[in-house]
């Protein structure tokens, strides 16, 4: 604990309700509660509390209430409590302040300033409860032209098609590595992806051997700067191979999985000794240019015998449109773009909170640029970074995304409360930890059902919204910005987004 810091949270224990069952003591991995046998009393330690609410929801008598601490420094708009605390922490350690999950600063969320259309009178809406709606999405490069021959059976496509991966709905689980998250959490994502017919992304921690057969068909496997767990079998068991250049939460920097999280199994998957830091350098040291990127894209195509789409994931930064164009020209089949609100298991806070641009603007810019250059069909675009609900997703698709990656939303469905302490490896919810005592709190059989439910409910909502617009296939709204209007946006923002203002 750092000296002279106000606790972030206050723990109130209603003693008339507390039965000293010690559940809170067992549930808190940070040591926030303790039973004192001498006094037969429970006591709490607010200075270690991260506000994850595990104890409060597990308390059988509802005796606990955890909330932001009432004590305040003198209110100051400029010198906020968070800035204060960080300064004091750094004065004591000289270290870079770490954090977890996505950017929590009040950048404009453009989804909240975009509205979708609906049919009224002039064209009928469609009722998805009685009419088929198509959400199927194909990820990969599409041909410039199709040569079709009609015959007795129907038709035949004469061209050679590029490898594409079909997913049942345009929502894919974002990259979260085994190592960053627990095996149980990792497996839950895989099980849910398989059940729903979509994909999960292994991140840069390899895909455990025993999962390759069953879940490989639903896996996007990553080849990132540390090349952890990358071998030809890993590449070939998957549906899509993704080159990770950057991540929205930490554009331009690498990652250090701390040695504490490199357990025996994590070490085996990453092919490094147990307990060493798993260091992913900032760049991939064989990629210093677009030409080098092309070299790796084709190396992966060679390694997978040209059977799989190759994706390139970048963080949304200033010249994202030009970069995306280069990526497509380098031969990528999918471009994944992660915006400033993208999550992470661990990142320097200064980077998470200050670097990158919002996904809405980046996505619109990329889609427009690729269209203008006549190469939009050469790739699929996956948008990522803070998607909270099906409304955000449909708006992204109308802005030009083929699909979206969801990370934080899936974690919340699994139990995460966004306490942002992922980097400590002590996740009380069993998600972002390698401690077996904590990770066994997550049962993949149960948690995967929650994830499936989440995707199914979004699927229903997207169908309702599409039906309302009189559209029966997701393909018809993809990049269809006529169905979007801006509210409370300035001229330049509308220009970048390529949408009209509401009422226009």
Partner 1 sequence: MALNLKSGLRDMFLEGVRPVSELSRYITASGPQVRIDALSLKHKELNDLLREVVSKGAREITIKNVFGQRYISTRLNGISGCNVNLSIYGTPGNDLGAFLNGQRITVYGNAQDGVGNTMNEGEIIIHGKAGDVVAMSMRGGKIFIRNNVGYRAAIHMKEYNDKIPVLVVGGTAQDFFGEYMAGGIVLLLGLSLGEGKNHNAGYVGTGMHGGVMYVRGSMQMSQLGKDVGIYETDDRDLEIIRRYAGEFAQHFGLNTEEILQGNFRKILPLSKRPYKNTYAY
Burial class (CB in 10 A: 0-12, 13-18, 19+), 66: buried
Does residue 373 bind partner 1 (CB under 8 A)?
A: yes
Does residue 145 bind partner 1 (CB under 8 A)?
A: yes
Does residue 93 bind partner 1 (CB under 8 A)?
A: yes
List b or e across 347-367, with b for residues whose CB sees 16 or more CB atoms inside 10 angstroms. bbbebbbebbbbbbbbbbbbb
Residue that is written with structure tokens 């950057």 in the block: 246
For residue 403, what are the β-bridge partners?
A: 382
The minimum distance between CB 401 and partner 1, in angstroms, equals: 21
Query: Could you tell me if 217 and 200 are in contact, meaning their C-beta atoms sit under 8 angstroms apart?
Result: no
The minimum distance between CB 419 and partner 1, in angstroms, equals: 14
Does residue 227 bind partner 1 (CB under 8 A)?
A: yes
The pair of structure tokens assigned to 197 is 């017919």
Does residue 231 bind partner 1 (CB under 8 A)?
A: yes
Does residue 65 bind partner 1 (CB under 8 A)?
A: no
The minimum distance between CB 299 and partner 1, in angstroms, equals: 5
Residue that is written with structure tokens 């802005």 in the block: 399
The minimum distance between CB 223 and partner 1, in angstroms, equals: 8
Give the number of residues in contact with partner 1, rule: CB under 8 A.
56
Query: Could you tell me if 204 and 228 are in contact, meaning their C-beta atoms sit under 8 angstroms apart?
Result: yes
Within 10 Å of residue 2's Cβ, how many Cβ atoms?
12
Pick 326 or 391: Cβ nearer partner 1: 326
Pick 308 or 483: Cβ nearer partner 1: 308
The minimum distance between CB 98 and partner 1, in angstroms, equals: 5
Name which of residues 252 to 311 contact partner 1 (CB under 8 A): 256, 258-259, 267-268, 270-273, 275-279, 281, 285-286, 294-295, 298-299, 302-303, 305
- Full DSSP string of 228-292: TT--HHHHHHSSEEEEE---TTSTT--EEE-GGG--HHHHHHHTS-TTS-EEE-SS-TT-SSHHH
Name which of residues 323 to 352 contact partner 1 (CB under 8 A): 328-329, 331, 348
H helix or E strand, kind and range, residue 449: helix 444-468
Pick 353 or 459: Cβ nearer partner 1: 353
Name which of residues 457 to 486 contact partner 1 (CB under 8 A): none
Which of these ranges, 209-217, 224-232, 311-319, 470-478, lies near partner 1 under the rule CB under 8 A?
A: 224-232
Q: Which residues contact 204 (CB under 8 A, 6 or more apart)?
A: 175, 177, 222, 223, 224, 225, 226, 228, 229, 244, 255, 280
Which of these ranges, 52-60, 92-100, 196-204, 479-487, lies near partner 1 under the rule CB under 8 A?
A: 92-100
| Apex 136 CA angle, 135 and 142, nearest 5 | 125
Name which of residues 411 to 440 contact partner 1 (CB under 8 A): 423-424
For residue 224, what are the β-bridge partners?
A: none
Residue of the chain from 34, 89, 142, 460 that contacts partner 1 (CB under 8 A): 89
The minimum distance between CB 7 and partner 1, in angstroms, equals: 16
Pick 90 or 443: Cβ nearer partner 1: 90
Within 10 Å of residue 473's Cβ, how many Cβ atoms?
13
Cα distance between residue 144 and residue 66, in whole Å? 58
Helix (H, G, I), strand (E, B) or coil at 464: helix
Pick 271 or 473: Cβ nearer partner 1: 271
Does residue 95 bind partner 1 (CB under 8 A)?
A: yes
Interface ranges with partner 1 (CB under 8 A):
89-90, 92-98, 144-145, 223, 225-228, 230-233, 235-236, 256, 258-259, 267-268, 270-273, 275-279, 281, 285-286, 294-295, 298-299, 302-303, 305, 328-329, 331, 348, 373-375, 378, 423-424
């Amino acid at each position: 604990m750092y000296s002279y810091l106000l606790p972030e949270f206050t723990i109130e224990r209603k003693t008339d309700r507390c039965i000293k069952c010690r559940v809170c003591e067992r549930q808190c991995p940070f040591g926030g509660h303790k039973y004192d046998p001498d006094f037969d009393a429970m006591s709490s330690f607010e200075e270690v509390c991260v506000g994850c609410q595990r104890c409060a929801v597990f308390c059988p008598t509802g005796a606990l209430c955890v909330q932001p601490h009432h004590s305040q420094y003198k209110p100051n708009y400029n010198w906020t409590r968070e800035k204060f605390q960080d300064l004091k922490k750094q004065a004591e350690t000289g270290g870079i302040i770490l954090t977890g999950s996505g950017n929590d600063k009040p950048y404009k969320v453009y989804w909240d300033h975009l509205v979708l259309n609906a049919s009224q009178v002039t064209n009928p809406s469609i009722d998805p409860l009685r009419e088929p709606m198509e959400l199927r999405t194909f990820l990969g490069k599409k041909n410039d032209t199709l040569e079709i021959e009609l015959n007795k059976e129907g038709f035949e496509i004469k061209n050679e098609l590029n490898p594409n991966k079909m997913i049942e709905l345009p929502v894919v689980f974002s990259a979260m590595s085994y190592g960053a998250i627990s095996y149980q959490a990792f497996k839950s994502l895989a099980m849910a992806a398989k059940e729903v017919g979509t994909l999960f992304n292994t991140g840069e921690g390899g895909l455990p051997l025993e999962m390759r057969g069953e879940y490989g068909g639903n896996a996007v496997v990553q080849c990132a700067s540390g090349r952890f767990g990358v071998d030809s079998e890993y590449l070939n068991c998957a549906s899509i191979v993704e080159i990770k250049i950057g991540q929205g939460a930490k554009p331009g920097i690498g990652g250090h999985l701390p040695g504490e999280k490199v357990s025996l199994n994590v070490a085996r998957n990453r092919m490094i000794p147990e307990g060493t830091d798993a260091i992913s350098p900032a760049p991939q040291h064989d990629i210093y240019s677009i030409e080098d990127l092309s070299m790796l894209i084709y190396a992966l195509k060679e390694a997978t015998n040209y059977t799989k789409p190759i994706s390139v994931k970048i963080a949304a930064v200033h010249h994202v449109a030009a970069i995306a164009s280069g990526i497509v020209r380098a031969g990528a089949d999918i471009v994944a773009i992660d915006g400033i609100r993208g999550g992470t298991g661990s990142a320097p806070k200064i980077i998470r909170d200050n670097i990158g641009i919002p996904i809405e603007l980046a996505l619109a810019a990329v889609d427009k640029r690729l269209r203008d250059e006549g190469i939009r069909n050469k790739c699929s675009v996956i948008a990522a970074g803070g998607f909270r609900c099906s409304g955000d997703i449909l708006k992204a698709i109308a802005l030009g995304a083929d699909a979206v990656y969801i990370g934080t939303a899936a974690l919340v469905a699994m139990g995460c409360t966004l306490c942002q302490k992922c980097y400590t490896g002590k996740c009380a919810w069993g998600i972002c930890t390698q401690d077996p005592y904590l990770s066994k709190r997550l049962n993949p059989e149960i948690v995967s059902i929650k994830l499936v439910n989440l995707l199914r409910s979004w699927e229903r909502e997207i169908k309702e919204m599409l039906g309302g617009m009189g559209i029966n296939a997701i393909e018809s709204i993809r990049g269809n910005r006529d169905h979007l209007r801006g509210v409370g946006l300035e001229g330049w923002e509308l220009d970048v987004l390529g949408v009209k203002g509401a009422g226009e």
